Structures are given as structure tokens and as C-alpha cells.
Amino acid sequence: MRILHVIAQKPGQTGSGIFLLNLIRVAAKRGHAQCLVAGISNNDIEYSQDLPESLLFMPVLFETEKLSFPVPGMSDEMPYPSTRYRQMTDEMLHLWKKAFTLVLKEAVNFHPEVIIVHHLWLLAAMVREFFPEHPVIGICHGTEFRQLVSADRFSAEVIGGCRKIDRIAALSSFQKEKIETTYGIDKERIIVTGSGFNRDIFYPPANRNIDSSIKALYAGKLSAAKGVPSLLRAVSQLPLARSDFQLILAGAGSGYEYDEILSLAGNCPFKTLFTGSLPQAMLGELMRECHLFVIPSFYEGVSLVTMEALASGLRVVSNELPGMREWVGPRLEEEGIVEYVFLPRLRSIDVPLEEELPVYEERLAHGIARQLERVKLFSGVPPTGWREMVKKYSWESVFSRIENTYHGLCADRIY
């Protein structure tokens, strides 16, 4: 099978980018020929080092003379300098479309048999129009729903184009229903792939003890939508001695939200360590050194990093996000591996009401404190529920669902 992968933003630095790279990795192991079209900065020469040698990489370069602005991102706060779609001028949009059109024309020479495009957004609509005779599978990552509201001038173009895509891959049943109602796509054309983790990178340590302080980890974008300011305020409420607890923030941020996070960390009574963005292998090593993972995000599709944390044998404190209980299952909650926290009321898809935050942060602090008590009693990995979860998820199974979808499309076209 000859696969053309398409993503508008940088691969590897966000959940959708990790999803993409793992699909490429599995497909390479299975012997498929692959080409990748992605938007990156002109300075991001290291990207080719993280890709399989057999992959044909065709980047769309930003921060150049022809495309002077940073790569547009599907979130308002990306872990790297980015352009917000809602702030793109007509001229910027014209240049963006022209640049991707030129590279997609080159990709025609790769002779793809199937195209996998990430995010049900502008580029997905373009790909469907550009490749009318090819099977196209669009993968929804959840951030599209936010963009349809914040950059609503693109909504008609996006929804009209994405409705023509052959099959849509959702990460959960909850997301499938949201795609159906938001985009008006028949549910029979939407498959649920779930998500996965790399078993070679994310696995528990042989032993996990508490030598000095308990280490709690957050990994992801350092932004308000991810709940990082609330996490720092919640941690500051913990009734612990300073030496008993350490918070590690793995990820990058930018702008005034990142400045606020730095300020809150400076005032936090506990040691707070910033690692910056980490490659997957280093993140796996860090997870094996920690005891607890906290995901205070106000919105996620399926949180890949939470799955990776669970695979690494960490206890988790998570906001009760839509679809979370579906893929986690009841066993991990019953065994105390996952502790849920009720979300505050939201003003929009990932923006909480300010007046709700103090009480929510008290709930978050209570959830963290409960897990810390469990860690003190038993710092190892509770085996039963954890093993159940690990067996259910792999990138191999996710890719197989997409592969089977392609074969089904081919059969439909023949008959």
C-alpha cells in the first residue's frame, strides 16, 4: 500500500503529531511505501532525523520569504511559535493554500493509493478537492471543534469539504457522535480507531520506590486551556512539607499564558521543574522516575499522554473529560489507579468560567492529595486493572483499523 500522510502543522510536538508519527512507524514496519506532507518552520531541519529512512518527506516551509509567518496551529497556544487561524488575513490564507497546493502537486508523483489527512479542517477540505479519485481518510483529533467556533469564517468551507471525505476516523464514541452532529456526516462513514502507545517506550520500571519526595508529572502544552495555571494553584494548596513533593512540567509554552505559568511556579511552595519539550524516549524515562501523573486539561479528544502515563504504571489524576471513562474503563477507577475530578462549568469548549476556578482547584487539590496517600501506601504498579488497559491499546491495532477501512473502501469502489 502506498500511503500519503498529510498534516498542516509540525509532526511530533502535539498529540496529533505523535499520532501521525506512530502510524508512520507501524506502517514502515509492515512494509508500506509512505510520503509525508507537513508544515514546519524553515529552521526545523531536525524533523527528518525522527522519520523512517524509507519515508519521502515533502515539507511546506514557513518563516521563509514566501511564507513569512509561523506554522498555523490547531490550538491557540502551541508548544512553539505559531499562527492562529482566526488571525490569518486573506493574503496569508492565499499564500498558505498556494504553498500546500504546490507540494500536493509534487506528491501526486508519489502515486498514493490512500491519503490519510489529520484534522477535519482547511487542509482536509483541500485534500478532498485535490484528490477526488483517491480514497481519503480524515482523522479527527478534537481541536477542530474549537476552531469551528473561534475561526468560524472558515466553517462553511471546512464542513462542506470534510463531508466529502470517504471515511472519518474518530478517537472515541463520544467524538464520533460530535462529528456526526457538527459536520453532518453519516455515522456509517465514521469509524472509531481509539488510540495507542508505543510499548517499546512506555512501560513501568522494575521497581518504583519513594527515595525522597513524591514526583508528580504533567506533560503537554503549557497553556491555560490545558489547565496548567489551575494545576499550580491546586498544588500550592497541598498540606505537605516542602521536601515531600515535587512537580515536573514537561512541555513548552509561549506568550502571556506561559509568563503566567512561570510566575505561578515561582510562587509555588514546592519545587517545580520545567523540562521543556521532550522526545518520546526521554518522556518514557521520566515517567518511570515519577509516581503520579496529572491531566488538568479542560478539553481533550483522547489524551495520548494519559495513556502513555498509565502504560508506564503511573497513578493518574484526571479531569472527567468526555470519553475518558470510555477508554479507561471501570477497573482502573475501582482500583484507585485513576482519580477523576469534576470539570468547572465552561464558557466555551476549553475556557472555564473564572468564578468556577477556585472551587474546581480545591477539587483538583483534593484529588491529588488522595492519590498521594495511595502512592505512600503502595508506590508500585497495581497489576490487575493496569494489565487489562495495556492489552487493549497499541498503535498496531489503531493502524490495523485504518488499514481495514482502506481495504473496505477499495472493495466498495470495485463492487
Q: Output the pLDDT for position 147.
A: 94
Say what the pLDDT of residue 336 is: 87
Answer yes or no: same fold for 2-196+394-414 and 214-392. Answer: yes
Question: Rounded to the nearest 5 degrees, what angle is found at the Cα of 105, between the Cα atoms of 102 and 106?
Answer: 95
How far, in Å, CA of 85 to CA of 88, rounded? Answer: 5
Q: Where are the domains of the chain?
A: 2-196+394-414, 214-392
Q: Which residues of the chain have pLDDT under 50?
A: 415
| pLDDT tens, position by position, 114-156 | 999 999 999 999 999 999 999 999 999 989 998 999 999 999 9
Predicted confidence at residue 47, as pLDDT, reads: 60
**What pLDDT was estimated at residue 409?**
87
Q: Which three cell numbers stand for residue 169?
A: 476516523
How high is the pLDDT of residue 411?
74
Q: Which CATH number is 2-196+394-414 given? A: 3.40.50.2000
Q: How far is CA 210 from the centre of its chain?
A: 30
* 62 sits in which H/E element: strand 56-62
Asked if CATH classification 3.50.30.60 holds for the domain at 214-392, the reply, yes or no, is no
237 within 8 A of 357, measured Cβ to Cβ: no
Contact at 8 Å (CB) between 18 and 304?
yes
pLDDT value at residue 44: 79
Q: Looking at residue 244, what is its pLDDT?
A: 85
